[in-house]
C-alpha cells in the first residue's frame, strides 16, 4: 500500500512520523509524499494552542477532500483531547491516541488488511523519501510539570523514557542509511531518564561514545534539569553548539503566573555557561506575548531582558486562551489589540537581534549540512551551519545530504541568512 504522512506542530510529531514510515517500509509498503496518491493517510495532529486545534480540524477536512478514497488515520494531541469528536469527523477511519502511538503501525495494518511481515532490509530511507535530511530522534514522551498555559502535558501524559540501547540502535541504523545529522526530541527532553534512573547528560554521553553520527543536535529543551557539567559535553564538536531554550517571558512575576521553574537570573546563568563552553553558541527561544495579567511594566521587563540575552532566533506566540488550562481562568486577560502591538514590537526586536547574531559569523568558516537545491540552473543550495543558521551557496561541489566547510562572506539583503559567495558576487539574497 502507498502511505502518506502529515504532521502539524512540534518536532516530536515529525520524529514519530519518521519512525512509522521506517516501520512500514520494513513491511514492504511504500511511502508517498503526495496524499492524493495514497491508500492510507496518517495525520499527526497538534493542540498546543486553540489555533492549532482549529488548524488540525481544517487539515483533516482537507486531507479527506483531496483523496476521499484513502483511509484516514488521525493521531496526536488534537485526537487525544477530542477522541470522540474526531471519530465522527467526516472521512476519519481510525483514531489512535497518544498513549497507543507505539502500536500505530500494527493497528493501522490490522484495521485495513495490510501485510505485517517484515522483509529483508532495503536501501530506501524513509527520511529521504519524504525529502528530509535531518532525523528527529524521540527519546521520551510526556511531562511531569504543569505550566499554567500548557495543554500538551495533559494530552501526552506522564513521562516515559526510551531505553538508551534502543535509541543507540536507531541512530546507528540511520547512520548506516546515510543520515548525517540527528536531533534529540521529546516533550520534556531535559527530564529524560526521570523514570529510569538516567539523565539527558548520560544519554548524550552514550550517543557520543557509541555512535559515529557526525552531527548531533538538541531540539527544544526546557531550561532546567540540566546537570552542572552539562555544557562540558559540547567539547565534542559532534554536538552542535545550538540549543532552543524556551524562556516564555522576561518578567519573573509573569513566569510565576506561568508556573515556570526557571526565572530570569537562572536562565541568564545557563546562557553564560553555554557561551562560555563554545564561542558563538546559538541560543534560540520561545516567548508568549500578552499572558494574562501582563502589565506594561512587565512587558518592558521582557523587552529589556530579551535584548540583554541576544537570542539568535525567537518563536513568538500571542497568548490565546486554551480551555482546560489554569491560565484560561486567570484574571486580567490582555486585550487583543495590546497583544498584537506587543507581538509586533517583539518581532521587530527579534529581527534586529537575529541580524546582530548572524553578523558575528561573517568572515568565519563553518560546516554545513546541505539540504535543499532551490535553483538547479545556478546550483543554488541551502543548508544549516553547526550553529543552526541558514546559509546559501552556489558552490559547484555541493551535494545534498553532504557536509562541507565553507566561508561565510555576507549576510543576505533581508538579514535572515548567511551567504557563501562561492565566486558569485551577485548572490546576496536568501531564498
Is residue 65 within 8 A of residue 85, CB to CB? The reply is: no
Q: Which of 20-24, 126-130, 140-144, 228-232 has the lowest mean pLDDT?
A: 126-130
Question: Which domains does the chain show, CATH number per domain?
Answer: 2-112 (3.40.50.12160), 131-359 (3.80.30.20), 365-420 (2.40.50)
DSSP state of 220: B
Q: Report the C-alpha gap between 252 and 301 in whole angstroms.
A: 9
Share of the chain above pLDDT 90, in %: 76
The Cα–Cα gap between 211 and 221 comes to 22
Is residue 262 within 8 A of residue 223, CB to CB? The reply is yes
Mean pLDDT in residue range 170-187: 93
Q: Please give the grid coordinates belonging to residue 391.
A: 546559509
Query: Rounded to the nearest 5°, which phi and psi values hold at 316?
Result: -110, 125
pLDDT of residue 431: 42
Q: Would you state the pLDDT for residue 130?
A: 55
Is 70 exceeded by the pLDDT of residue 391? Answer: yes
> Residue 189 and residue 207: Cα distance in Å, rounded?
15
β-bridge partners, 244: 220, 284
**Which residues face 390 on adjacent strands?**
384
The pLDDT confidence band at residue 122, using thresholds 50, 70 and 90, is low
Do residues 314 and 284 touch, judged by C-beta distance below 8 A?
yes
Residue 378 scores a pLDDT above 60: yes
Name, in order, each residue with C-beta under 8 angstroms of 292's C-beta and a sequence gap of 6 or more: 257, 319, 327, 330, 331, 332, 333, 334
DSSP letter (8 states) at residue 233: G
Quick one: DSSP state of residue 248? Answer: B
Give 358's strand partners.
none
Q: What percent of the chain has pLDDT over 70?
A: 94
Q: Cα(92)–Cα(95) distance, rounded to whole angstroms?
A: 7
**Are the C-beta atoms of residues 217 and 185 closer than 8 Å to each other?**
no
Q: What's the rounded Cα separation, in Å, for the pair 199 and 353? A: 33
Q: What tens digit of pLDDT does each residue of 252-279 get? A: 999 999 999 999 999 999 999 999 999 9
286 pLDDT more than 80: yes
pLDDT of 235 above 80: yes
Which pLDDT score, from 0 to 100, does residue 133 have? Answer: 75
Is pLDDT at 427 greater than 60 in this prediction? Answer: no
Nearest to 289 by CA among 356, 334, 225: 334
Query: Residues near 44 by Cβ (< 8 Å), separated by ≥ 6?
Result: 5, 6, 7, 8, 9, 13, 16, 17, 75, 76
How many Å apart are CA 227 and CA 232, to the nearest integer? 10
Q: Which grid coordinates are listed for 325?
A: 488550562
Res. 155: pLDDT tops 60: yes
Q: What is the pTM of this model?
A: 0.89
Q: In this predicted model, what pLDDT tens digit does every residue of 6-18 receive, in sequence order?
A: 999 888 888 898 8
Q: Taking each helix axis from N to C terminus, what angle separates 296-309 and 264-277, rounded to the nearest 10 degrees?
A: 10
SS3 402: coil
Residue 323 has what pLDDT?
87
- Averaged over 186-204, what is the pLDDT? 96
pLDDT of 423? 45
Residue 141 phi, psi dihedral angles, 5° rounding: -140, 155
Given this model, what pLDDT does residue 128 score? 57
pLDDT tens digits for range 4-49: 999 998 888 888 988 998 899 889 899 888 899 999 999 999 998 8
**pLDDT tens sequence across 309-351:** 999 999 999 998 888 899 999 999 999 999 999 999 999 999 9
**375 pLDDT more than 50:** yes
Q: Residue range 165-172: average pLDDT?
A: 96
Q: How high is the mean pLDDT of the chain? A: 92
DSSP per-residue codes, 116-162 = -------S--HHHHTT--EEEEE-EE--S---TT--HHHHH-S-EEP
Q: What are phi and psi of 306, to 5 degrees?
A: -60, -45
Q: Choose among 255, 247, 388: nearest CA to 316.
A: 247
Angle CA(61)–CA(128)–CA(77) in degrees, nearest 5?
35
* Mean pLDDT of the 91-99 span: 94
- Are 133 and 400 within 8 A, CB to CB? yes
Amino acid at each position: 500500500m502507498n502511505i502518506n504522512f502529515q504532521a502539524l506542530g512540534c518536532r516530536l510529531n515529525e520524529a514519530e512520523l519518521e519512525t512509522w514510515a521506517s516501520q512500514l517500509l520494513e513491511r514492504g509498503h511504500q511511502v508517498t509524499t503526495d496524499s492524493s496518491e495514497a491508500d492510507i493517510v496518517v495525520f499527526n495532529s497538534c493542540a498546543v494552542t486553540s489555533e492549532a486545534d482549529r488548524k488540525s480540524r481544517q487539515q483533516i477536512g482537507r486531507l479527506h477532500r483531496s483523496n476521499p478514497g484513502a483511509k484516514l488515520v488521525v493521531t496526536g494531541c488534537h485526537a487525544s483531547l477530542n477522541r470522540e469528536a474526531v471519530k465522527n469527523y467526516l472521512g476519519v477511519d481510525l483514531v489512535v491516541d497518544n498513549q497507543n502511538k507505539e502500536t500505530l503501525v500494527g493497528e493501522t495494518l490490522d484495521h485495513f488488511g495490510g501485510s505485517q511481515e517484515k522483509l529483508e532490509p532495503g536501501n530506501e530511507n524513509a527520511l529521504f523519501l519524504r525529502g528530509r535530511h535531518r532525523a528527529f530522534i524521540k527519546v521520551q514522551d510526556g511531562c511531569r510539570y504543569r505550566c499554567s498555559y500548557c495543554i500538551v502535558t495533559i494530552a501526552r501524559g506522564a513521562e516515559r523514557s526510551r531505553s538508551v540501547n534502543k535509541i543507540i540502535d536507531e541512530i546507528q541504523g540511520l547512520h548506516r542509511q546515510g543520515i548525517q545529522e540527528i536531533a534529540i526530541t521529546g516533550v520534556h527532553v531535559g527530564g529524560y531518564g526521570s523514570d529510569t534512573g538516567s539523565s539527558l547528560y548520560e544519554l548524550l554521553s552514550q550517543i557520543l561514545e557509541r555512535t559515529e553520527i557526525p552531527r548531533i543536535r538538541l531540539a527544544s529543551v526546557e531550561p532546567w534539569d540540566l546537570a552542572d557539567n552539562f555544557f562540558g559535553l559540547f567539547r565534542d564538536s559532534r554536538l552542535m553548539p545550538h540549543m532552543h531554550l524556551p524562556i516564555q517571558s522576561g518578567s519573573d512575576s509573569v513566569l510565576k503566573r506561568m508556573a515556570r521553574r526557571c526565572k530570569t537570573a537562572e536562565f541568564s546563568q545557563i546562557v553564560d555557561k553555554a557561551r562560555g563552553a563554545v564561542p558563538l553558541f546559538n541560543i534560540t527561544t520561545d516567548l508568549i506575548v500578552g499572558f494574562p495579567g501582563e502589565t506594561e511594566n512587565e512587558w518592558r521587563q521582557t523587552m529589556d531582558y530579551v535584548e540583554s540575552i541576544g537570542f539568535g532566533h525567537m518563536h513568538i506566540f500571542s497568548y490565546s486562551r486554551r480551555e482546560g488550562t489554569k491560565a484560561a481562568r486567570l484574571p486580567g486577560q490582555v486585550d487583543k489589540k495590546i497583544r498584537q502591538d506587543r507581538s509586533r514590537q517583539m518581532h521587530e526586536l527579534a529581527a534586529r537581534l537575529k541580524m546582530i547574531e548572524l553578523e558575528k559569523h561573517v568572515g568565519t568558516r563553518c560546516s554545513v549540512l546541505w539540504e535543499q537545491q532551490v535553483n538547479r540552473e545556478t546550483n543554488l543550495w541551502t543548508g544549516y551551519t553547526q550553529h543552526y543558521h541558514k546559509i546559501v551557496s552556489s558552490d559547484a561541489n555541493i551535494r545534498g545530504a553532504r557536509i562541507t566547510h565553507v566561508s561565510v562572506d555576507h549576510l543576505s539583503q533581508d538579514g535572515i541568512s548567511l551567504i557563501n559567495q562561492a565566486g558569485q558576487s551577485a548572490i546576496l539574497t536568501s531564498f
